[in-house]
Amino acid sequence: MRLTLDRTSSIPFYRQIAEQLREQIRSGELPPGTRLPPERRLAAMLGVNRTTVVSAYRELAAEGLIVGHVGRGTIVAEPQPSPQPLGSSVAWAQFFTPITTVMRDPLLYDTMVVSARPDVISFATGAPAPEFYPVETVRALLDEALHHEGQSLLQYCPTEGYPPLREAIAQYLRQHGARTTAAHVLVVSGSQQGLYLLARALLEPGDVVAVESPTYLGALHVFRAIGARFLPIPVDRHGMHVSVLEDMVQRRRPKLIYTLPTFQNPTGTTLSLERRQRLLDIAIRYQIPIIEDDPYSMLRYEGPALPSLLSLDTAGIVIYLSTVSKVLFPGFRVGWVVGPQPVIERLSTLKQLVDLDTNALAQWAVWAFLTRGLLDQHIERLRQAYPVRRDRMLSALEAYAADVLAWERPGGGLYLWCQLQDGLRARDLLPEAARHGVAFTPGESCFPDGGGAEFLRLNFTYPNPDQIEEGIKRLAQAIHTLRANRFGRDRTAVLARPLV
Amino acid sequence: MRLTLDRTSSIPFYRQIAEQLREQIRSGELPPGTRLPPERRLAAMLGVNRTTVVSAYRELAAEGLIVGHVGRGTIVAEPQPSPQPLGSSVAWAQFFTPITTVMRDPLLYDTMVVSARPDVISFATGAPAPEFYPVETVRALLDEALHHEGQSLLQYCPTEGYPPLREAIAQYLRQHGARTTAAHVLVVSGSQQGLYLLARALLEPGDVVAVESPTYLGALHVFRAIGARFLPIPVDRHGMHVSVLEDMVQRRRPKLIYTLPTFQNPTGTTLSLERRQRLLDIAIRYQIPIIEDDPYSMLRYEGPALPSLLSLDTAGIVIYLSTVSKVLFPGFRVGWVVGPQPVIERLSTLKQLVDLDTNALAQWAVWAFLTRGLLDQHIERLRQAYPVRRDRMLSALEAYAADVLAWERPGGGLYLWCQLQDGLRARDLLPEAARHGVAFTPGESCFPDGGGAEFLRLNFTYPNPDQIEEGIKRLAQAIHTLRANRFGRDRTAVLARPLV
């Protein structure tokens, strides 16, 4: 039996031990009947706690790979007659409703696969920097919560949310100028759930939704799955082109306006104050509810804060959506919808069907982050760290990719939006980038109506500064390679003349 | 300033302090500008830790009720100009889609309201005994999880579930005779989410679902919201009357069969082995998928275990649903759907729209409960405690209510199903019971097609044995009062003869 522990690895020792033993049992190196060393002895040999070995053995026992015999110690088990996994003789395809047949975007699937490779530097995610996750704070908070209120936090929670959290969210928004009370707040299992509930509550197949073009790709998926059609409104450096919306709204009569006015995903742009007012005027005049998706406004690195549409709203036509996923971490699955009471009541009826309620323990922790100043402290830290990463990305782009990419400098958020030059397409770049060990999100997935082939979205918060530098270098090489090949191959096809 | 601490209360001290101060500030007893005692002094006066007072002050400060001034201590704040909460000038009712207009059942709403009163003994819930929640185990597990794998558990999780948990669930089911692998398992945010996803994936408006009559009321709500119609199959003491299903299946061609074969909610009955086989035969012959909802089979108090439909299924026509909500506690919101791979793939596409993924930390903890024998240990404890409660309820019924109720003795699960005699109706009993300080679930809410007015469902796991005794006494008194009033009032109306 060979066992080596990597003391620099982030994989816990018990996992390292279990994995190596599992491998050796499966390969036959440790055949059935082999007696493993007693826990105490193995622990001494490896210089770890006995509980570490106990945990490793327990994991293997749970998988049926080893068995403990009184008096005989721990033995490698006989392989169980491997159960033939159950196939199905049912022609399932005929049973599914249309909503489930919406295909996953194959381009995004490829992106995810590349992005997950350990040798790849990924600019493709929408995740905050994991090394800043306040793990120890969460640990202390959950310990406190279970100590003080364990029983009630492990119970069902009201569908609308943990009451103190609803109040804390309302209070937070009031401090930012909105006139909200707890009754305007519905806690949801991540803001994706908020989007889904809103789409289900407000859209029927064929309804039109006005969206920025480009916009958040997850919203496009939800709206498409419901059968909605899009009214795409272009975006410039001041956000949604509200005058275009105004021109089109009479003819197309959208049922909803979906917008990310602040540090927009994917473009990073912010809707100007004047356009905010005008957008609200249009919504009120034509009675079209606005969904304001606002996960990024707390991540502002420079410039003055602009008021949210929610806080400018005098008519109760804005429904606001936010989350802790981008400012703390995504794992809690806690977001919130804020809006007029009739909306909150209907959404809550719907949420009761969808998942009854949201994890109360996670809600308690978010409440503590909000009311004890811990969230503000954490955001302060991110507002120090993220601009450094953004600037490192900007200077790397300047150094390596100025001839092949154009970009804007975002004042906040997670993303840099880039445009390939010379008619290169992001979907062609993806495999080349994968070969060079770098991943990004192809911009076309963010467009409601096709188009956008030349854009890519780069996240600058997930990789660390050195990875950013190296990743942009790789990306630039990939683009240069693509360009060289393309111009080598396609030179004669640049202009195709009609064959008359 | 008056402050008293109730040392026997389960409300933490800091909450008690905050609540009393809040009340006194709001009532004007502590007017704006009042200086509160320094934290250290108040702590000494009350005989609590300083951190307790700090937490209480913090909570009040977060609500804007008090402010800390350097040099002046903590002061009751000037009341903020109370923001006029935002009303809405939008005629929202016109915007909502039909799914949101499914009314909440007013009878259930009344039940919930009564059930929540602190002076009421509630037999209405579906919750396990809170005093058995393994709070300290959860505390230790979450601490371990965050210590070892904090970063990755606070990250997004694969939509299909935390991979080791999927494997552990498959393994658990294999040990109970099913031929499952991790690829057959989708982790969901509570089994309610599993039901919703299945209904969305498999039913369109107008489709027929065969259900037991009575059945789980939450399933009826989901199916109704999708626009499904019901094929109600009666239940006797051996579970669903499968021969009735057989007679009707050809004419009505249900799209799905939904069943709780083991310790059924609400009747407590278990489908016999012979009927299980016959149900599967029908499903396979007519190619009708079965949803087997199985939250209760682990809570078996006597008699032999019967194989699940999943483990008897040779054709891959069963989709299985379970959860830890009834055997551990509901707060984690972790359940699972197990079924043929095409089903799992479609559901997972749908789950990505609905909430992206399920809280990874909670999944880790469930994984640890399953693989370390902690779940089995816990269930062993419940299987000691719950029959005591059931028997206490049975003997109390015998002692106080034998003349007004009939009931069956369930071999497992959480519920006793009772029938009122003399044509009394549970909905009439509800307000009388509320006056007597006891709550139950009216049986009619569990029937797909009206009817069942004389039934009530009593939960025997949530109240403790003494509360059970007292609650049944109150219930019997309420029934006797109702009967006396009814017979006083209605005596002449027993038989209405045609007026010829």
- Under the banding of pLDDT at 50, 70 and 90, the label for residue A492 is very low
**Most A CBs within 10 Å: which of B314, B321, B359, B374, as the mutation test of the A interface?**
B359
> Do A272 and A200 fall into the same domain?
yes
Is B355 close to A355, i.e. CB distance below 8 A? yes
Confidence of residue A82 (pLDDT cuts 50, 70, 90): low
Mean pLDDT of chain A: 91
* CATH number of the CATH domain containing B155: 3.40.640.10
Contact A221 B353 (CB under 8 A): yes
Q: Is A89 exposed, middle or buried (0-12, 13-18, 19+ CB in 10 A)?
A: exposed
Rounded Cα gap, residues A335 and A323, in angstroms: 4
Residue A499 lies in a domain: no
Between chains, do A150 and B167 touch, taking CB under 8 Å as contact? Answer: no
Within an 8 Å CB–CB cutoff, is residue B250 touching chain A?
no
Name the residue of chain A whose CA is nearest to B372's CA. Answer: A58
The dihedral built from the CA positions of residue A394, A395, A399 and A403, taken in this order, carries a sign that is: positive
**B492 close to A (CB below 8 A):** no
From the list B10, B168, B353, which residue is nearest A62 (CB)? Answer: B168
The residue of chain A nearest to residue B370, with distances taken between CA atoms, is A62
Q: Are residues A283 and A164 in the same domain?
A: yes
* Position A132 in a domain: no
- Residues of chain A in contact with residue B182, where contact means CB-CB under 8 angstroms, are none
Q: Do B360 and B383 fall into the same domain?
A: no
Let me know the angle formed at the C-alpha of A221 by A220 and A224, rounded to the nearest 5 degrees.
80
Residue B438, strand partner residues = B121
Interface subset of B 326-345, CB within 8 angstroms of A: 329-333, 340-343
Rounded to two decimals, the pTM is 0.84
What's residue A149's pLDDT? Answer: 93
Residue B492 forms part of a structural domain: no
Please tell me the predicted confidence (pLDDT) of residue A442: 96
Q: What pLDDT is recorded for position A108?
A: 87
Q: Are residues B216 and B363 in the same domain?
A: yes
Residues in chain B with pLDDT values less than 50: 491-494
What are A258's two structure tokens? 């979906």
Nearest CA in chain B to A193: B355
| Cα A204 from chain centroid (whole Å) | 26
User: Between chains, do B316 and A100 touch, taking CB under 8 Å as contact?
Assistant: no
Taking Cα atoms as reference points, which of A338, A385, A406 lies closest to residue A172? A338
3-state secondary structure chain B: CCCCCCCCCCCCHHHHHHHHHHHHHHCCCCCCCCEECCHHHHHHHHCCCHHHHHHHHHHHHHCCCEEEECCCEEEECCCCCCCCCCCCCCCHHHHCCHHHHCCCCHHHHHHHHHHHCCCCEECCCCCCCHHHCCHHHHHHHHHHHHHHHHHHHCCCCCCCCCHHHHHHHHHHHHHCCCCCCHHHEEEECCHHHHHHHHHHHHCCCCCEEEEEECCCHHHHHHHHHHCCEEEEEEEECCEECHHHHHHHHHHHCCCEEEECCCCCCCCCCCCCHHHHHHHHHHHHHHCCCEEEECCCCCCECCCCCCCCHHHHCCCCCEEEEEECCCCCCCCCCCEEEECCHHHHHHHHHHHHHHCCCCCHHHHHHHHHHHHCCHHHHHHHHHHHHHHHHHHHHHHHHHHHCCCCEEECCCCECCEEEEEECCCCCHHHHHHHHHHHCEECEEHHHHCECECCCCEEEEECCCCCHHHHHHHHHHHHHHHHHHHHHHHHHHHHHCCCCCCC
Position A93 confidence tier, pLDDT thresholds 50, 70, 90: confident
Distance (Å) from the alpha carbon of B319 to chain A's nearest alpha carbon:
11
Q: Which of A338, A372, A406 is the last residue of a domain?
A: A372
State the pLDDT at residue B395. Answer: 98
Say yes or no: B382 and B355 in one domain: no
User: In this structure, are B275 and B318 located in the same domain?
Assistant: yes
Cβ <8 Å between A157 and B331:
yes
Size of interface A-B (CB pairs under 8 A): 297
Whether A414 is in a domain gets the answer: yes
Interface contact B347, partner A, CB < 8 A: yes
Map tokens 């965050």 to a residue: B146
Cβ contact, residue pair A58, B347, below 8 Å: no
Interchain contact B104–A (C-beta under 8 A) = yes
Instruction: Give the integer Cα–Cα distance in Å for A148 and B83.
Output: 33
3-state secondary structure of A159: coil
Q: Which residues of B267-288 are buried (b: 16+ CB within 10 A; e: fewer)?
A: bbbbbbeebbebbbebbbeeeb
Q: Are A438 and A332 members of one domain?
A: no
Helix/strand/coil for A6: coil
DSSP letter for each residue of A288-335:
--EEEE-SSTT-B-SSPPPPPHHHH-SSS-EEEEEESTTTT-STT--E
Nearest 10 degrees: CA dihedral of B451, B456, B462, B465? -170
Question: Is A435 in CB contact (< 8 Å) with chain B?
Answer: no
Could B99 and A153 be called an inter-chain contact, meaning their C-beta atoms sit closer than 8 Å? no
Look at strands A185-188 and A208-213 and give their pairing: unpaired
Tell me phi and psi for residue B454, to 5 degrees.
-90, 5
Q: Which residues pair with A292 in a beta bridge?
A: A259, A320
Q: Could A331 and B96 be called an inter-chain contact, meaning their C-beta atoms sit closer than 8 Å?
A: no
- Residues A303 and A398 grouped into a single domain: no
Is B331 inside a domain boundary? yes
Give the chain A residue whose CA is nearest to the CA of B146: A139
A358-415 pLDDT, tens digit per residue, is 999 999 999 999 999 999 999 999 999 999 999 999 999 999 999 999 999 999 999 9
Picking from B372, B397, B415, the residue at the C-terminal end of a domain is: B372
Residue A135: which of B151, B157, B329 has the nearest Cβ? Answer: B151
Judge whether B319 lies within some domain: yes
Q: What residues contact B228, with CB distance under 8 A and at least 6 apart?
A: B199, B203, B205, B206, B207, B208, B209, B255
Q: What pLDDT is attached to residue A13? A: 86
Cis status of the peptide bond prior to A83, with omega within 30 of 0: no
Q: Which residues contact B41 (CB under 8 A, 6 or more apart)?
A: none
B220 to chain A, any CB pair closer than 8 A? The answer is no
A247 and A318 belong to one structural domain: yes
Q: Which of A84, A189, A359 sits opposite B331 (nearest CB)?
A: A359
Based on the fold, state whether residues B362 and B404 are members of the same structural domain: no
Please indicate whether, in this complex, the C-beta atoms of A255 and B347 are within 8 angstroms of each other.
no
Q: What is the DSSP letter of A418?
A: E
Q: Which two tokens stand for residue A316?
A: 């109760």
| B239 φ, ψ (degrees, to nearest 5) | 90, -160
**What CATH number did the domain enclosing A72 receive?**
1.10.10.10
Identify the DSSP state of A12: -
Residue B498 sits at φ, ψ, to 5 deg, of -55, 140
Measured CA to CA, the distance from residue B218 to residue B237 in angstroms comes to 22
B64 near A CB under 8 A: yes
CA–CA gap between residue A192 and residue A222 (Å, rounded): 9
Q: Are residues A363 and A406 in the same domain?
A: no
Cα gap B298→B328, rounded to integer Å: 11
**Cβ B446 vs Cβ B217: under 8 Å:** yes
Of the candidates A226, A217, A165, which has an alpha carbon nearest to the alpha carbon of residue A198? A226
Q: How far A256 CA lies from chain B's nearest CA (Å)?
A: 10
Identify whether A134 is part of a domain: no
The label of the residue with tokens 């299903």 reads: B245
Report how many domains make up chain B.
3
Decide if B360 is inside a domain. yes
Instruction: Outline where DSSP puts E strands in A131-269.
Output: 185-188, 208-213, 229-236, 239-240, 256-259
Q: Is B124 on the interface with A (CB under 8 A)?
A: no
Highest mean pLDDT among A11-15, A143-147, A488-492: A143-147
Q: Which residue has the tokens 């958040």?
A: A216
Q: Above 90 in pLDDT, residue A46? A: no
Read off the pLDDT of residues B19-65 as tens digits, 9 standing for 90 and up.
889 888 887 888 888 888 888 888 888 888 888 898 888 888 877 78
Determine the Cα–Cα distance for residues A387 and A393; give it in Å rounded to an integer: 10
Round to whole Å and give the CA distance between A473 and B246: 68
Helix axes A341-354, B217-226, angle to 10 degrees: 120
Cβ contact B459:B389 at 8 Å: no
Give which of A158, A136, A73, A196 is closest to A358, Cα–Cα: A158
Distant-in-sequence, close-in-space partners of A430: CB < 8 Å, separation ≥ 6 = A107, A110, A111, A114, A439, A440, A442
- Our measurement of the distance from residue A116's CA atom to the centroid of its chain's CA atoms, rounded to an integer in Å, reads 14
User: In 10 A of CB A81, how many CB atoms?
Assistant: 6
Q: Which residues of B touch A163 (CB under 8 A)?
A: none
Q: How confident is the model at residue A192 (pLDDT cuts 50, 70, 90)?
A: very high
Residue A203 in contact with partner chain B when CB distance is under 8 A: yes
| Domain edge (last residue) among A314, A345, A372 | A372
Take residue B55 and report the two structure tokens written for it. Answer: 């937490």
Assign residue B105 the CATH number of its domain. Answer: 3.90.1150.10
Range of the domain at B32: 13-76
A459 with A346, same domain: the answer is no
Contacts of A268 (CB under 8 A, 6+ apart): A408, A410, A411, A412, A413, A415, A416, A417
